Amino acid sequence: MTIAIYPGTFDPITNGHLDIVARAAKLFAKLVIGIYDSPDKQPLFTVAERVELAREAVANLPNVEVESFSGLTVDFAKKVKAKAMVRGLRMSADFEREFDMAMMNKRLFPELELVCLMANVEYQFLSSTLLKEAANLGGDISDLVPEHVAKALRKRVKGKM
């Protein structure tokens, strides 16, 4: 059974992320979404909230699990016995960053293969950062995230205003 990880902050998970998840779930026997708990970042949602939002979003995909992790991504990959890491690419700047990370990860865990999936055209522009900014300014983000995420996001940004 080939296991893959899809690591990220997912603050919050978007339809662009879910497009990558759905496509990767077809390629691997098991896909583990790794929600990164970074001490350096100040996410809008706690790691527990991000895990719960992601779990609800992928509840219809039986071979997809969601876990939080901290530390090195390669250590998380080893923990879940992953053979591949999935990443989504939106633009050339993503490629440059992913290439650098892939080289470091290969050095740290040579057996881990990187699989990059090109973002769907309708999500090429979408990032969690832009999404949060639009929501904070009152923009309609309802077609960019699952309904439960839009509700949580509107509630959170309303509480910050």
Give the dihedral of Cα atoms 119, 120, 122, 127; nearest 10 deg: -20
- Distance from C-alpha of 14 to C-alpha of 10, rounded to nearest angstrom: 8
* 148 token code pair: 């439960």
> Among 17, 50, 87, 132, which one carries the catalytic annotation?
17
| Known active-site residue 148 | no
Assigned token pair, 129 = 């950062």
Specify whether 41 is catalytic: yes
Q: Which of 30, 90, 106, 156 is catalytic?
A: 90
Dihedral sign (CA 109, 111, 112, 117): positive
Q: Is 15 in contact with 144 (CB distance < 8 Å)?
A: yes
Catalytic residue among 41, 107, 155, 160: 41
Is residue 59 a contact partner of residue 41, using CB atoms and an 8 Å limit? no
| Active site annotation includes 17 | yes
Which member of 50, 87, 128, 132 is catalytic? 128
In 3D, which of 13, 6, 23 has the Cα closest to residue 84? 6
Enzyme catalytic residues: 17, 41, 90, 128
